[in-house]
């Protein structure tokens, strides 16, 4: 027999499940979070839940928000269980279930409701997990002012349809009411995510009012942050585990690895929760830490994903158990990525890579290859192409990085269903690239000017030829053998 997750039933849950000792009635909102997916509930919400357990920061509870149909479905599910979530940490020698209570409300999924919450002076931080593709960046990293949704919000600032249009409307209303603006904190995997968030919001504001854009530049804080925790999508197996192991009826549980990291700049004019008490690192300059994570862990996931999919793997730890796949990922990062990174005092990049590979091998999380393969047109520029540019600038080989891009290309050409906003363009270009490799590099929304670089284009063509004439495993072995020589 299972117990429905709710505030009233917390005392009835299995004793193996940890539940909040703080009273939810004592919490009050301080953070509006847009994007209430699994990662946020396994990461930021968990850190705040831990802080509340220490009797700290009870005026920093989370109000959820969203603007997509998915968000309305998620809101309905969470409302039925009093905004509670079961988070289960899954490790080879560790498993712990916790009901988190840091979220106390969720706006109705209409722009006006979110704008009203942003206007509320009690909200001192607005945080975001809207995915890498949600920031309207072009291939060069600039704000895409020509995007139809941005043009709409610029012409109709009172009836926005994008997250940034909603943020702008809320800030306008807050300014009109003479309330100081909240800090806006991106928690997405983007280099310089605070800078990118500022770029998008100021870019949209400039299309509406130069005065408004100048005010945002001068008054709104956009701290950069780096977040890390492997959190797969919830599937039927995850729900069954929660039901069978913990006897909880939770429609939206979250499974994640035990490891979690959060590093950010301390730039919060209206204050912030004392998250340093629960393991958050506050630093003056986060750029090097972000780059390390994006180009080792996230790039490692990308390098793992496409050959694994092509070899027929569906589960991450099973792919990592393949010696050829593991050797390929390790060699690529060690020989083509780490050498172009700027050193961080006291940080061992090779040790960090080893810890990442150990995390990938965790059989309990059961992360999926399809999750890692999705949204490549937004992820590759951030995880892989930066290393290509740096390697070219330093006169280093880009053969391994070109092979990674070629594997992505082959995946795009052969996948039954691409989960990517540019799926049709990718599939057409990837199929043509089998006979004309430059066809894939001509996707300027992805590659920008890099696709015209003769050295990279030649390396990519060589790797495409090797994949076309041989097979994936042979290509992985050839690269590893060359690097080991």
Is 141 a residue whose pLDDT tops 90?
no
Residue identified by tokens 């945002």 is: 216
CB 316 within 8 A of CB 360: yes
Is 171 a residue whose pLDDT tops 90?
yes
Q: How many CB atoms lie within 10 A of CB 149?
A: 15
Is 334 a residue whose pLDDT tops 60?
yes
351-381 tens-digit pLDDT: 999 999 999 999 999 999 999 999 999 999 9
pLDDT-derived band at 11 (thresholds 50, 70, 90) equals very high
| pLDDT given for residue 454 in this prediction | 97
| pLDDT given for residue 69 in this prediction | 87
Residue-wise burial string across 192-217, b where 16 or more C-beta atoms lie within 10 A, e elsewhere: bbbebbbbbbbbbbbbbeeebbebbe
Is 485 a residue whose pLDDT tops 80?
no
Look at residue 181 and give its three-state secondary structure.
coil
pLDDT-derived band at 284 (thresholds 50, 70, 90) equals confident
pLDDT-derived band at 481 (thresholds 50, 70, 90) equals confident
| pLDDT given for residue 126 in this prediction | 98
| pLDDT given for residue 139 in this prediction | 77
Mean pLDDT of 425-443: 97
Length of the chain: 485
Look at residue 256 and give its three-state secondary structure.
strand
| pLDDT given for residue 484 in this prediction | 61
CB 153 within 8 A of CB 160: yes
| pLDDT given for residue 138 in this prediction | 85
Mean pLDDT of 128-152: 92
Mean pLDDT of 86-107: 95
Q: For CA atoms 243, 246, 249, 252, give the dihedral sign.
A: negative
pTM for the full predicted model:
0.89
| pLDDT given for residue 483 in this prediction | 66
What percent of the chain lies above the pLDDT cut of 70?
A: 99
What mean pLDDT is reported for the chain?
95
Q: CA 225 to CA 214: how far, in whole Å?
A: 24
187-225 tens-digit pLDDT: 999 889 999 999 999 999 999 999 999 999 999 999 999
Tell me which of 410 and 138 has the higher pLDDT.
410
Mean pLDDT of 125-146: 92
């Amino acid at each position: 027999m299972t117990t429905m997750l709710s505030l009233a039933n917390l005392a009835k849950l299995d004793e193996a499940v940890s539940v909040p000792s703080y009273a939810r009635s004592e919490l009050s909102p301080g953070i509006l979070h847009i994007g209430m997916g699994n990662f946020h509930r396994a990461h930021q919400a968990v850190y705040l839940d831990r802080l509340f357990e220490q009797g700290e920061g009870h005026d920093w509870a989370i109000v959820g928000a969203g603007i997509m149909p998915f968000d309305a479905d998620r809101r309905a599910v969470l409302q039925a269980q009093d905004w509670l979530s079961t988070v289960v940490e899954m490790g080879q020698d560790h498993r712990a279930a916790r009901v988190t209570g840091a979220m106390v409300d969720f706006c109705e999924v209409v722009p006006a409701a979110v704008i009203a919450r942003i206007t509320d002076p009690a909200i001192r931080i607005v945080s975001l997990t809207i995915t890498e593709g949600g920031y309207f960046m072009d291939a060069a990293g600039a704000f895409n002012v020509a995007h139809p949704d941005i043009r709409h919000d610029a012409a109709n600032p009172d009836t926005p349809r994008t997250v940034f249009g909603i943020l702008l409307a809320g800030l306008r209303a807050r300014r009109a009411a003479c309330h100081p603006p909240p800090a806006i904190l991106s928690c997405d995997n983007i280099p310089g995510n605070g800078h990118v968030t500022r770029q998008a919001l100021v870019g949209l504001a400039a299309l509406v009012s130069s005065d408004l854009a100048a005010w945002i530049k001068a008054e709104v804080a956009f701290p950069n942050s780096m977040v890390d925790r492997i959190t797969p999508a919830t599937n039927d197996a995850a729900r069954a585990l929660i039901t069978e192991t913990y006897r909880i009826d939770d429609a939206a549980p979250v499974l994640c690895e035990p490891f979690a990291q959060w590093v950010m700049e301390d730039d919060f004019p209206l204050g912030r929760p004392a998250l340093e008490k629960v393991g958050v690192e506050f630093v003056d300059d986060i750029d090097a830490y972000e780059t390390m994570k994006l180009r080792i862990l996230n790039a490692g996931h990308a390098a793992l994903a496409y050959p694994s999919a092509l070899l027929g793997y569906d589960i991450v730890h099973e792919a990592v158990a393949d010696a050829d796949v593991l050797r390929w990922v390790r060699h690529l990062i060690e020989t083509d990525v780490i050498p172009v990174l700027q050193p961080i005092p006291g940080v061992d990049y090779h040790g960090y890579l080893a810890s990442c590979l150990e995390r990938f091998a965790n059989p309990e999380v059961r992360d999926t290859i399809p999750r890692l393969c999705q949204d490549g047109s937004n992820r590759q520029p951030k995880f892989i192409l930066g290393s290509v540019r740096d390697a070219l600038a330093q006169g280093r080989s880009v053969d391994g990085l070109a092979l990674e891009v070629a594997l992505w290309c082959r995946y795009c050409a052969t996948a039954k269903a691409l989960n990517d906003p540019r799926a049709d363009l990718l599939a057409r270009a990837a199929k043509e690239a089998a006979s004309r490799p430059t066809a894939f590099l001509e996707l300027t929304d992805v590659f920008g000017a890099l696709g015209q670089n003769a050295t990279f284009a030649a390396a990519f063509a060589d790797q495409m030829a090797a994949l076309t004439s041989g097979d994936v495993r042979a290509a992985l072995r050839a690269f590893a053998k060359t690097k080991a020589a």
